[in-house]
Structures are given as C-alpha cells and as structure tokens.
Amino acid sequence: MLCLATKVVAQDTTSFRLLGISSNASLDFFNNDSTYLTSNENISNMAGGNGHVIFQDPNSGKVWVLISDVNANGGNQGDRNLYEIDPTSGAYTMVADLTNEYYASGDIASDGSIYLIGGNGNNGAIAGQIWRYNPQDSTEVLVGQSAISGSRAMEYNPNNNSLYIYEGYNPNVLYIFDLTTNTETVSSYGPLLVDDEMHGAYYDATSNTMLLSAYGGEMYVSDTSLVSFTQYDDSFNSIMDLSVIKLLTNDENTGFCPGDSLVLSCIWDSTAYEWYVDGQIIPFGNAQSITVNTPGTYRCLVTMNFTLTPTYMWSEEINVSAYTMPSVSISIQNGDSLWCPGDTITLQGANGGSLQWYLNGQEISGANASSLNVTAPGTYTQSKTNLSGCVAFAPSDIVISEDVDCVNGISAVETTQFFVYPNPSADDLTFDGVSPNSEFKLFDVSGNLIASSTLTNGSTNISYLKAGSYLLQIGSNRVRFVKL
C-alpha cells in the first residue's frame, strides 16, 4: 500500500491535472505550483512526430492528440492525424487519418464535434480555414474562413458556442468565430513576451479563464475577459497545446438513492490506485473502480505508469450525496372502489416530480398526472421520480372491482319495481315506476343511511351530495346511482 504522508509532500505527486503536448510529441505534467514535473516520451520515441493539439472528450473522457506522421522517420510533417492516448501509460491508437494537411490547432465541442484550423499556409494549405471533423462518420466538412493569417491557438468556448482563435505572433489579435451564426469578431489580447509564438489554448469553464502556451515554453493565464493575460510559467518544453483533464468517469456532484450504492471509476487502467473519502484512505480501495454507499468527498490517487520512479496524480474530487426517496400516496376520491360499466372513478396521487400510473403492473400510456380517471376494474398504483432520480411507488395498491349487482350501469338488489334517470346525474333525479310522492331512504355504498325524504312530483334534488356512488331505497327495492 502506498503511503499518502510521504507522497503529499514529495515532488513526484501532483493534483494539477494539466497536460501539455510538446513540439516533440511528449506529454508534459506539472507540479501543483504549475512548474514542470515530468514528461512521457512514449509518443515521441515511438511515433517520432510533432505534437500540435490535445483535448479531452467531455462525454467519453477520452484524451485525443493531433500529431504529425512519423516525421523523424521520413514521413510527411503536414500529415497530422488524431490519436487516442492513455495519459497514465502513454499508449496511443490512431482514431482518424485526416484528409486535410497542416492543421495547426483544434478542440472538441460539447456535442462531440472536433474543430480544426489550418496554420500558416504551408504547402498550399489555407491559413484560417475552419473544418469540422465528425467522429461518428469520419467526415471533414468546411465550416468557414477566419480572417486570421497565422492561426496557432484555437479553443472552443461552450458558453457562447464560439471558437477563440489567438494570433500566433504580434500583433496579438483574437478572432472569435461564432459557430451558430458563422460570423467573426476581432479584438486584441496581451500582453505577451516579445515574439512569443502562441500555439495552444485551454478554456476553464469553472473560472471562465483561458490558458495559453507558447512555442518558446511560456504559459499565460487570462482574467475573465479572456483577453488580458499574465505569464505564470516558463516550462521545460515547448508546449504546443494544453488541457486540464479529469481522471474519473463520474460527475463532480453525484449520489445514490436509499438502499442503493454508487460505482466510482477511473477512466484509465493504471497499475495502482488509492481511494480516499473526506481525506481518509479507504481500506482495500486499490482497484480501478469502487462501490460506495456512504456520502462524502471522494478522490483517487492514480499511479502514472511511464516512469521508472513512480509519479502520482490526484484525481478531481467527487462529492457524493445520500439522496432521499420521494413521497407517494394514492386514494380514491369518493372512497368507492366498486365499479359498474359506464362509471368513472377518480384516483388521487402524488404531486411534483415525474409521475406514472400503472394498471395491473403495466404503465398506462400518457397517465402522468397527479390524478387518474379509472374506467375499468383492476389493480392501480403510481410511481414518482424526484430530481435526484430516485423512484418510489405507493406503499399499497388500489383494487377497483366490478360490482356484481351492476345492471345497465346501476347496482341494485331488486330493480324490477322502479328506475331513476338521468344516471349519472349532477342535480335532479327522476323516478319511474313509483308513486310521485313516495318516501325514500338514501344510503352510501357501505350501507350507511344519509337521508330520509319524500319525492316531489316523482323527483328529488341531489346537488348537495359529494361526487360518488349511492343507493336509493323505496320500500324493499333499491337502485344505485352515480352523483357527478
């Protein structure tokens, strides 16, 4: 087991997850104070090309680099292709053999599209041409033309769906290409050291700042205007592009529902891991993934595999919360669970969240409101999903049963002596088959007496009753009616 106490103060551990791709195609790592830490020379030694671009796919977490084709071994320096790289080991695989040559800079957008821009017009390449590469179908489509003459550093800004293109030499001009309107605005930026050749940029959405890297080794950080820069490091190598990466697959704020757990995972398969929660090491937490069911702040110490002397990088922090379950209860609006053909029984359920009603265990299509009008017998329930994604069902189902005494839409013990209409009714009921001044009794469906009265010219008013099913009795005969 690795010892945290020694590694925290050692020079071979960093929590600064900034990666740089250098002119010799090595990956550069940095200390917490942003000074140079170490390099991974794997690509440089194996491919022999030049590095130009590095970025991380915000969706998959994959890190991609743009490097020239085996230039040291006699290849074409302008043939620059996209590779997927494992930063913990330096292992790389070509993922796109690009058609166009001499792309100078690039970045990935929120939707996974990769934007690339031509450089200084080398060998017929058109400087400032912006192309979009689609990883899904491997197509390269011309998007537009920037007015820049020597494009070097280009970065995507998700806040305004625009490409920020920083001129490579003095004068220090910034071109902002709007991908929504395909229009461009121009401003200046600086100050920079004399003759600094800008090549790389990284936009930090959290702080709304931009990092720039120069061929001479200088690196700069902007304020929130993205045009006012301060030099903050003079690195060991000539950094052509740079990117802050995440090491874990999880969102920075996540959680689990009651009774569940959560899997935290590192993106890459390293040789060693140490997981921590709230600053304390997790016993036996030395795998690429761990399952947690306790809230807290988690992070992982990942071993970089490419150096003889181990180098370690802290992952980003993941804030894990214990979510709560939503509350669900359902009831029958009028308390009557007996149904006759033509009846409508209203069920009341939960409010808010994402709701779904079920009949006999199957979702009812379109039944997503807080109430449900039931027109068929069966077993009904409701689920609710809250904003955290936790799902709860009503603690008990409601069973709607068909009344065995239903005849033509009403329920009766004996129905040969009289009838009522209209049925259902909202206000007046008219009686047929009895004396117009008959005495009657009114019961609820449980048999409780509600009222005793006398018909007026063969009718009675029921507007005072709540909606639901009732029984009327004259003599020994009963009929059922529904109050709307």
Comparing C-alpha atoms, which of 220, 226, 214 is closest to residue 185? 226
- Helix (H) or strand (E) holding 100, with range, is none
Considering the chain, tell me which residue range(s) the CATH 2.60.40.10 domain(s) occupy: 253-322, 331-402
Q: What is the reported pTM?
A: 0.74
Backbone φ and ψ of 416, nearest 5°: -85, -15
The two structure tokens encoding residue 231: 């030099």
Measured CA to CA in angstroms, residue 70 lies from 22, 116, 166, 197, 427 at distances of 15, 20, 27, 24, 90
Considering the chain, tell me which residue range(s) the CATH 2.60.40.3080 domain(s) occupy: 406-483
What number does CATH give the domain 331-402?
Answer: 2.60.40.10
Using H for helix, E for strand and C for coil, what is the string for 149-166? Answer: CCEEEEEEECCCCEEEEE
Contact by Cβ (8 Å): 123, 78: yes
What is the residue-level pLDDT of the chain in tens, covering all 484 positions? 222 222 333 446 788 898 888 888 888 888 877 777 777 766 555 555 688 899 999 989 999 999 886 544 455 667 889 999 998 888 888 899 898 888 989 999 999 999 999 876 666 678 899 999 999 999 999 999 999 887 679 999 999 999 999 987 767 889 999 999 999 999 988 787 656 678 899 999 989 999 998 877 788 899 999 999 888 776 666 788 999 999 999 999 999 999 999 999 999 998 889 999 999 999 988 899 999 999 999 999 998 876 666 788 999 999 999 999 999 999 998 777 888 777 788 999 999 999 999 999 999 999 999 999 999 999 999 999 999 999 999 999 999 988 766 644 444 444 446 888 888 889 999 998 888 999 999 988 767 889 999 999 999 999 999 888 888 888 878 788 888 8
Considering the chain, tell me which residue range(s) the CATH 2.120.10.30 domain(s) occupy: 18-244
Bridge-partner residues for 214, per DSSP?
A: 198
Q: Distance (Å, rounded) from C-alpha 192 to C-alpha 198? A: 9
For the chain, how big is the Rg over CA atoms in Å?
36
Measured CA to CA in angstroms, residue 289 lies from 58, 121, 247, 264, 304 at distances of 20, 47, 12, 5, 17
What number does CATH give the domain 406-483?
Answer: 2.60.40.3080
Asked: is 18-244 a CATH 2.60.40.10 domain? The reply is no
Of 1.10.3720.10, 3.50.50.60, 3.40.640.10, 2.60.40.10, which CATH number belongs to 253-322?
2.60.40.10
